[in-house]
Chains A and B, each alone.
Chain A
Amino acid sequence: MPVSPATSTIETADQRRAAWMAAAQAGDRVAYEKLLADSIPLIRAAARRQGVARDHVDDVVQETLITVHRVRHTYDPSRSYEAWLNAIASRRAIDALRSRGRRDSRELHDAFALDRHPDVDDASAASERQQDAQRLRAAIDELPQGQREALEQLGLRERTLAEAAEQTGRSTGSLKVNLHRGLKSLRRHFNREP
């Protein structure tokens, strides 16, 4: 039966990898690194066939490469390298899916978590946040007018430099300098607090 060029190419690639692995088993580092690099697309394909999400395929590649390194003595060069690698990659892909499944089953979804596990410190946390805001407001009020305006316009109201310049009648350069000085003053003020 005539061998089609495609079949011939596949056989040659598998035979080449088998020869590289035989050399790697004897300690040939160059052949080994070539083989591992050449194996990555095969591992990716095996992982995708098992249904591993695109984001996690590279984790399966890493795990499979490590396993290949650990069990390279189990490869028989008279047999298909691709079948050997595919079996290992498929197993690592299944392990990854199982491990992800276990992790997902332990994690709570946001809505469920909020519903079942309300934050017991909600009231006290809100009160604390309010006190922090008051302290910040008081500290800003003590700043010189230029710095106060820059912080109010750019920091609190989140206006652009152009909008703030229009509101205050100051240049953008002056606003930037005052914002910088204002933030420095606030940092100094709060670092001083016990």
Chain B
Amino acid sequence: MSHAPRHETLIHALGAGLVPVRRLPPPWLRTLGWLLVVAALAVALLWRYGTGIAMERWQASPDMGWATAGAVLTAICAAWAAFVSGMPGRRAIWAWLPLPPALLWIGASGLGCLRSWVEPAAQLTRTHPAPDCLYFILAFSIPLSALLIWLLRRACPLRPVLTAVLIGLASAAASASLLEICHAYGAAATDLLTHAAAVAVVVAANAAMGGRLLSRH
């Protein structure tokens, strides 16, 4: 083989530079670490606002309870899928794992919005400026995305943009879940659209910037 000596030289050079390495912790462990930070933020918000607001909202519109469950599951599945995508050789199909909870999240939110039109009594009376939700989701998504990118710094995402999209989805879903704690408003189309816009912005920003940060390999 004409190139065999060239490969042999490289193998010897790589062998000469070999040092023991610390194996990457499994994806579930890193997901757990990230979720602990999200849980700490939830505890801080619950300490500040209590459980009353969320309970009132869920009682007035049970679909919002399902939407919150969907958002929490989306955050967990997307974070796990992001860590799995950073391990070469894992099946690409895991990237679809957040899809069912995301459909639950979107579907229940949409249903809640639809019900508020059909049964106006179910709607909470309070009004609020929609941009607050946008700022809340963006403000929480930035550090949560940064933390995920930092936790993936030693990984090898062979499809960096896909990993970045999963990071964006995880952090946006986690932020939307945290918002439920202090979001004392019923399901409304403007509210739903604001949440959707915030999630889209976070996912797109991650895909654009996170992809570059993760494409070192």
Contacts and interface: CB of A to CB of B under 8 A. Distances in A.
A70 B22 CA distance: 12
B24 A73 contact: yes
B154 interface: yes
Interface stretch (A85-93, A136-144, A158-166): A85-93
Contacts of A65: 7, 10-11, 14
B23 A32 contact: no
A83 B21 CA distance: 20
Contacts of B86: 74
Interface in A59-107: 61-62, 65-67, 69-76, 79-80, 83-88, 91
A36 B17 CA distance: 14
B37 to A, nearest CB: 23
Interface residues on A, range: 20 to 34
B217 A33 contact: no
A58 B4 CA distance: 9
Contacts of A70: 217
A62 B6 contact: yes
Nearest to B155: A74
Contacts, number: 84
Interface in B1-25: 3, 6-8, 10-12, 14-24
A32 B19 contact: no
Interface stretch (A22-30, A108-116, A122-130): A22-30
A66 to B, nearest CB: 7
Contact of A58 (B7, B15, B17): B7
Given A33-B11, A73-B21, A75-B23, 5 more contacts: A58-B3, A66-B10, A71-B156, A80-B89, A88-B158
Interface of B: 3, 6-8, 10-12, 14-24, 26, 86-90, 154-156, 158, 217
Interface of A: 24-29, 32-33, 36-37, 40, 58, 61-62, 65-67, 69-76, 79-80, 83-88, 91
